[in-house]
Structure 1
Amino acid sequence: MFVPAELRTTPPAAIPAAASPVTTPPPPTSLRQAWVALVGLSAVFLFEMLDNSVLTVALPTIGRELSATTTELQWVTSAYAVVFGGLMLAFGALADRFGRRRLMLTGLTLLAAAGLATALVTTAWQLIAVRAALGVAAAMTTPGSMALAFRLFRDDALRVRATTLISTVGLIGLAVGPTLGGLALTVLPWQALLLVNAPIAVLALIGVRAGIAPDSPAELHRAPVDVVGAALGTATVVLALVTPTLVASGPGWAPWGTGGAAVLAALGFAHRQRTAAHPLLDLALLARPLVASGLAYKAAAALATAGLGYLVALQLQLDWGWSPAQAALGTLPQVVVLLAGGAFVRPLLSRLGFDRAAWLGAAAVVAGLAEYALLGHLGYPWVALALVLVALGLRVVGVVAAMNVLRGLPENRTTTGAALTDTAGEVASATGLAITGTSLALLFGPDLTAPGWTPLQTAHFHQAILVAALALTALAAALVTWGARRSRAVRA
């Protein structure tokens, strides 16, 4: 791939002479030639999106059947995101060194096993443990789906088409997940919704194994693994995301301890990356305009999607008394936009370019959040409008942000770049869930799923929704503003 002079870095260390060459087939010249690989990679992305969307609509049912508190429900959603976000960067660096295909196949095996374990869950904390195991598997697989698709082709136009295809399959899962999940809950136990992860993992395993050749040693990054840096980076993300949940659990010193530890770990990580001979992450890469803007836009979209989905699911079912099936049908505007929006991504990119299209999509996300915060309590049409605006923005940002980050990095850092993108998205998702969960726990109390709310509880719920939505809007707007500033540096 052509890399502009301003984006080039020092080439990787030379491959030892003893390394035996691996004959790799010529890159495919069409999507049809790579259909087996694309099926497998699309299945990986489908798992991530379908799993989160199905879980969201099932939360009220899970809370009642497992007698889960508000904090436990937050952990059910956050455990996956905390582990996923904490480990992605480390696994991305390992994949660039030891083989992207090898690490993905290992993660898919773990994913299938963790999916089957859902059938054995009987308590909230058992479900939280399963969700954490799924987070480990996702950290090993999800970054590789975009990185392998990017490396599969040499032409940027084919890369955009492949990335659009994979993200479309994932967004279909995000779109139809609540609808199918809500309808399925009328006849099936909630465990059945999460068991679907196992067959998706098997499909991905077959596609990746048959359609993607093993990594050539010449394409791997040969620097030693920065184990200390990986540990500090993981600790930073995990501690930062655990702290809001501890705040919601009640007063005490635990949140102050974890928050302080997160700051120390972050400082230690930054110092380690600046001084290590072979850092896990070259911090100079984050300063590149393409990388910085892509990560900011990705974070804004993920924050909005996770926070809005959580709030709407609870509002429709717990506040307005809708059944899971009715709540599922209530997400249909989002479904339509996510499914039909793919036809407009390529023309939009051709007309506006990557940078302006990303800004426009991110701005739509912020507008949707703001509209929901101010008008969502007035009735369903306003909720539907918020879902449409956020879905429109996500449809564009989901493709462009990842492509910008990968385009701005050296060839032998593609999995690290994909891991950076997914880490930004997952940390932002967990932050969105933490903001909403903490607002509900502090302003409503622990009995969120208890039937028969009093008028005072309903008022507290509305107050919590307003506070959470406004906080999400402000944070997303700050991220979009930062991304726009970095994008101007790209144009300059």
Structure 2
Amino acid sequence: MNVRRTETVDEVDAPPEPSRSPRSLREAWIALAGLAAVFLFEMLDNSILNVALPTIGRRLSASTTALQWVTGVYAVVFGGLMLAFGALADRVGRRKIMLVGLVLLGAASLATAFVTTAEQLIAVRAATGVAAAMTTPGSLALAFRLFDEDGLRVRATTLISTVGLVGLAIGPTAGGFVLAFAPWQALLLVNVPIAVLAFLGIRRGIPADRKDELHRDPVDGLGALFGTAAIVSALVVPTLFVVTGAASLAPWLTTAAAVVMAVLFVVRARRARHPLLDLKLVGRPLVSSGLAFKGASGLAVAGLGYLVTLQLQLDWDWTPAQASLGMLPQVVVLIAGGSLIGPLLKRVGFDKAAWLGAGSVACGLAVYALLGRFGYVWVAPALVLVAAGMRVVGVVAGTNVMRGLPASRTTIGAALVDTSSEVATGIGIAVSGTILAALFTGNIATSNWSADQTAEFGEAVTLAGLLLTAVAAALVGWGIARARRGTGTATPSPAAGSDGEYEGSGCEATGPS
């Protein structure tokens, strides 16, 4: 058995063919264009749709609850299916799953032209969520496998994420402009040419997966069921808190269901011979620390975005246009900050850059929680700190997770990164919304608050911000401890035998702490 493992690893670690390892971003421009288009779709889709919600509500005679599900169903399906599709892609081929997902994305987006009811739109958004679950994790995995050098991997990931963030920034403005002369369906039909561009770029620029980069373990159907149910339940909770309120039983029962399903998933993962997700891989220092930093970032970004949006428009009576300008510091840093990632990595290295970025996110949230009520002069630096940290964590933490996994598990690793961010986002919104609902008396959406209501809102914002800061700081601290545990060992080789055996170089596959 030892001889077999050595031969397999040596075969995988052999120098790749030149066509599989571009020496510069320019050589891989076709593939990068396709992968960037995938990330552009993810970032642009929801931001551009939110602008059209009032118009959609009028045209389709949709209720407030239906509009909530128009946006919510995408996030729920997307987050819930990422692990399952990530595991499938590591078995049948990342490129193959990506291309199928892009075909589904194009078809679902095209179907928007024929939507006449809110229910039909919700179904289309659910199909779009399936397509996103098939494509988004694969974009990180394929970008990582495209290059052999970590420097090129970081530059490629930075480029791809910058394209997506530009889409996120211009989405609302572009959407408002389009609505001035075109029907709302045009905003979702834009996904069709994006899907075509992505399909052509990936089809031509990225070769099919090699057999030694995949594995043939049986699919853990029961583990996939438990994992999907746990994530879906966790992502439904924020919507239920908003729609039914914290006094309702539904969100609390759904929270309990999420916890039960998560426990069953862990038990299944420990006992199954071929689990959907091997917890020993999650326990590797690079992987667990990267996921902790990503979770802290998602928690802080979601909580800050939710609270600041309410504060600017409801507490300070800013118009939507003024509120958009108020968020501008965050947008500028998210787009321009990519140029600073390379120099930062050269100066401090991967591990330190990851926890510095995550620490910046937690500090920004703390600044807002403690000082945000005293004026925009404190809100702006909080937005900058969170955006700067998010920009670093988004690239470095994901790359570290990829570096810590065998080649045959990279897609489920990417799915873990995205899932941790999605779940953390849901938790951040749920915590903030629950505290606001518990402390604020009356209808928060009404104008002309009383002095008591203003004080209650300020107290709720401070409490929610401090609670999220504490959780984010705990995740950062745990991530630093995990990263230090791996210090002094060689970086794990992203290699594994086709039979699924892991090479234990570098960070050993210890059990999760």
Q: Tell which deviates more after alignment, 153-162 or 38-47.
A: 153-162
- Please name the residue that 1:156 is paired with: 150
- Equivalent-residue separation in structure 2 for 1:95 and 1:26 (angstroms): 19
Stretch moving more, 125-134 or 308-317: 125-134
Measure how far apart 1:465 and its partner are. 3.4
1:204-219 aligned at under 5 Å gives the runs 204-219=198-213
Q: Which residue of 2 aligns with 1:298?
A: 294
Give the conservation status (yes or no) of the 8 Å contact 1:304–1:390: yes
User: In the superposition, relative to structure 1, how do residues 391 and 125 fare at CA in structure 2: closer, same or farther (>3 Å)?
Assistant: farther
Q: Aligned runs of 1:88-103 on 2, under 5 Å?
A: 88-103=82-97
Tell me how far apart the structure 2 counterparts of residues 124 and 380 of structure 1 sit (CA, whole Å): 38
Aligned to 1:331: 327
**What corresponds to 1:397 in structure 2?**
393
Equivalent of residue 345 in structure 1, options 329, 341, 346: 341
The 5-angstrom pairing of residues 56-67 of structure 1 reads none
Instruction: State whether structure 2 residue 318 is matched by structure 1 residue 316.
Output: no
Code of the residue aligned with 1:169 in structure 2: it is: V
- Map 1:214-229 → 2, pairs under 5 A: 214-229=208-223
The change in CA–CA distance for 1:362 and 1:222 in structure 2 (over 3 A counts) is: same
- Distance in structure 2 (CA, Å) of the matches to 1:371 and 1:123: 44
TM-fit CA distance, 1:430 = 1.9
Residue 460 of structure 1 deviates from its aligned partner by: 4.9
| Correspondence 1:369-388 to 2 at 5 A | 369-388=365-384
**Alpha-carbon offset, residue 315 of structure 1:** 3.2
Contact 1:12–1:223 at 8 Å: present in 2 too?
A: no
The within-5 A match list for 1:74-473 is 75-118=69-112, 128-181=122-175, 192-248=186-242, 249-250=244-245, 251-444=247-440, 449=445, 452-455=447-450, 460-473=456-469
Structure 1 residues 106 and 262: CA distance shift in structure 2, 3 A? same
When normalised by structure 1's length, the TM-score is 0.86
Distance 1:382 1:411 in 2: 45
Contact 1:40 1:204 in 2 (8 A): yes
Letter in 1 for 2:310: L
Q: Deviations over 1:149-175 (max 9, x none)?
A: 111112222212212211222222233
CA distance in 1, matches of 2:255, 2:213: 39
Contact between 1:185 and 1:324, CA under 8 Å: does it hold in 2?
Answer: no
Give the 3 Å change call, closer, same or farther, for CA 312–247 of structure 1 in structure 2: closer
* Cα 1:352–1:188 shift into 2, 3 Å: farther
**C-alpha distance in 1, partners of 2:70/2:444?**
15
Range 143-152 or range 461-470, more displaced? 461-470
> Residue 4 of structure 1 corresponds to which residue in structure 2?
none
Q: Is the 8 A contact 2:20 2:146 kept in 1?
A: no
Q: Which amino acid is 1:163 matched to?
A: T
Greater CA drift, 49-58 or 326-335: 49-58
Evaluate the alpha carbon distance shift between residue 103 and residue 466 of structure 1 in structure 2; reply closer, same or farther with a 3 A threshold.
same
> How far did 1:447 drift?
5.4
Q: Which amino acid aligns with 1:147?
A: A
Worse-superposed segment, 184-193 or 410-419: 184-193
| Identical positions, percent | 66
What is the aligned partner in structure 2 of residue 491 from structure 1?
487
Q: Structure 1: state its 5+ residue gaps.
A: 1-7, 15-22
- When residues 333 and 123 of structure 1 are mapped into structure 2, their CA distance, relative to the original with a 3 A threshold, is farther
Equivalent residue, structure 2, for 1:36:
30
Output the CA distance in 2 between the equivalents of 1:64 and 1:373: 37
Q: Deviations over 1:84-105 (max 9, x none)?
A: 2211111000001011111111
User: Shift in Å at residue 444 of structure 1?
Assistant: 4.9
Deviation at 1:239, TM superposition (A): 1.8
Q: Secondary structure at the match of 1:491?
A: coil
Structure 1 position 118, deviation (Å): 4.8
Q: Between Structure 1 and Structure 2, how many residues are aligned? A: 475
Q: Deviations over 1:432-478 (max 9, x none)?
A: 222334344455589555x6444265555444433433332222222
Counterpart for residue 18 of structure 1: none
Partner in structure 1 of residue 507 of structure 2: none
**Displacement, 1:280?**
1.0
Instruction: Answer yes or no: is the 8 Å Cα contact 1:229–1:273 preserved in 2.
Output: yes
Is 1:225–1:278's contact at 8 Å kept on the other side of the alignment?
Answer: yes
> Helix, strand or coil: the match of 1:221?
coil
Distance in 1 (alpha carbons) for counterparts of 2:229 and 2:75: 14
Matched position secondary structure for 2:349 = helix
Q: Is the 8 A contact 2:20 2:207 kept in 1?
A: no
Instruction: Choose 248-257 or 208-217, whichever is displaced more.
Output: 248-257
Structure 2 gap ranges (5+): 9-16, 489-513
Secondary structure of the residue that 1:280 maps to in structure 2? Answer: coil
Cα distance change on mapping 1:286 and 1:51 into 2, 3 Å: same
CA–CA separation in structure 1 for the residues paired with 2:117 and 2:443: 17
Counterpart contact for 2:30–2:202, Cα < 8 Å: yes
Correspondence for 1:478: 474
> 1:406 touches 1:418 (CA, 8 Å); kept in 2?
yes
For the Cα contact (< 8 Å) 1:82–1:430, is it kept in 2?
A: no
Instruction: Tell me the SS of whatever aligns to 2:217.
Output: coil
Distance 1:13 1:426, change over 3 A: farther
Write the letter of the residue equivalent to 1:305.
V
- CA change 1:141–1:26 in 2 (3 A) is closer
> CA 1:169 to 1:478, structure 2 compared with 1: closer, same or farther past 3 Å?
same
Distance in 2 separating the partners of 1:127 and 1:367: 40
What's the TM-score once normalised by structure 2's chain length? Answer: 0.83
Q: Deviations over 1:261-310 (max 9, x none)?
A: 32332222112212212111111011111000100111111222223223
Structure 2 Cα separation of the partners of residues 377 and 64 of structure 1: 35
SS at match of 2:274: coil
| 8 Å contact kept, 1:13–1:222 | no
Q: Is the 8 A contact 1:56 1:310 kept in 2?
A: no
CA shift, 1:481, in A, is 1.4
C-alpha contact (below 8 Å) 2:234/2:423 kept by paired residues: no
Stretch moving more, 96-105 or 306-315: 306-315
Q: Distance in 2 between the 1:469 and 1:229 partners?
A: 35
Deviation for aligned residue 1:423: 0.9
How far residue 60 of structure 1 moved from its aligned partner, in angstroms, is 7.4
CA deviation after TM superposition for structure 1 residue 325, in Å: 3.2
> What CA distance in whole angstroms lies between the structure 2 residues aligned with 1:466 and 1:155?
44
The CA deviation string for residues 176-228 of structure 1, in whole angstroms up to 9 with x for no partner, is 33554566667766655444333322221221122122223332211111111
